[in-house]
Amino acid sequence: MRKRHGLVVTNLLLTFLLGSILSIGLMEPSEGDLTDRSGEHEALLVEDGPFIGEGSGEHLGEVTFTPAFTVNLDQAGPGGGLFYARGKDVSIAFGVGWMSYLVHSERGESETLVRVHFVDSKLCQPSGEEMLGYKSSFFIGNDPDGWVTSANNYGRVTYNDLWNDVDLSFFFKNGRLKYEFTVHPGGDASAISMRYEGAETLYVDQSSGDLVVVTRSGLLRDDAPVGYQ
């Protein structure tokens, strides 16, 4: 196992406690469907938490999430990537060269898929780490050939060497989904770039440095980044 010296860049992604959500009226959504995050938000390196909400400013309750990443043995279909985790208001999936959020509106009226592409990265597969002590089975339909049994669950999903000497890991901590970039010696943090497809618009909250991702079904909010060495 490679020793993890160097810069660690940490993001708390999905907070489970949804407090007051800022109004999305601060910026009109753009017409385009693709939004490039690179060079626009230095918090690419380390951020701290998308909130999910309708943008109305009301208290939306809690996002319930199973704190595990399940391997997709076709029970979640191709959209489930290689690993996934499902929640009440958002589900996430991890594939080769991408991860995604499926955002469900609070009232169940709509859902929006936001796919995050790792720009100019290696097409490496995510790997499950820290296997949990239980497995999941899925008995869907009447045909036993379509049933899935003993799918492993993991506490962490990692893209190793996604960019040269840069790893990206996702895990749960204190009721929140967290992700972090680890820049090993020889790695270049400026290579980290992510493009959001399916978002209405992105903007940076100037008062906090948070990145706000606006979708038709709600919004995601990444807290301003922190880093350590």
DSSP result, 30-71: PS-SEEE-TTT-GGGS--B---EE-SSSS--EE--B-S-EEE
The whole-number pLDDT of residue 209 equals: 87
Per-residue pLDDT of the chain (229 residues; tens, 9 = 90+): 444 445 665 554 433 222 222 222 222 333 333 333 333 322 223 333 333 333 322 222 334 456 899 999 988 887 889 999 987 778 899 999 999 989 888 777 788 999 999 999 999 999 999 999 999 898 988 888 889 999 999 999 999 999 999 999 999 877 677 889 999 999 999 999 999 999 899 999 898 888 888 888 888 877 777 777 7
Tell me if 1 is assigned to some domain. Answer: no
Tell me if 50 is assigned to some domain. Answer: yes
Q: Are 135 and 128 in contact (CB under 8 A)?
A: no
**79 Ramachandran zone, left/alpha/beta (phi>0; psi -120 to 50):** alpha
Q: Classify 189 as helix, strand or coil.
A: helix
The whole-number pLDDT of residue 33 equals: 34
Tell me if 216 is assigned to some domain. Answer: yes
The whole-number pLDDT of residue 38 equals: 37
- Start-to-end C-alpha separation, the chain: 19
Q: Where are the beta strands (DSSP E) in 96-184?
A: 98-104, 111-118, 127-138, 148-163, 166-173, 176-183
Tell me if 26 is assigned to some domain. Answer: no
Per the DSSP assignment, residues forming a β-bridge with 116 are 99, 196
| Segments forming the whole domain that contains residue 97 | 7-20+31-228
The whole-number pLDDT of residue 17 equals: 24
The whole-number pLDDT of residue 65 equals: 55
Rounded Cα distance between 83 and 93, Å, is: 6
Rounded Cα distance between 220 and 91, Å, is: 12
Tell me if 58 is assigned to some domain. Answer: yes
Count CB neighbours of 65 within 10 A: 20
With a CB cutoff of 8 Å and minimum separation 6, the contacts of 45 are: 7, 9, 181, 189, 192, 225, 227
Tell me if 11 is assigned to some domain. Answer: yes
Tokens of 136: 């999941």
Rounded Cα distance between 209 and 137, Å, is: 42
Domain count across the chain: 1
Tell me if 2 is assigned to some domain. Answer: no
Tokens of 32: 């385009």
Tell me if 25 is assigned to some domain. Answer: no
The whole-number pLDDT of residue 69 equals: 94
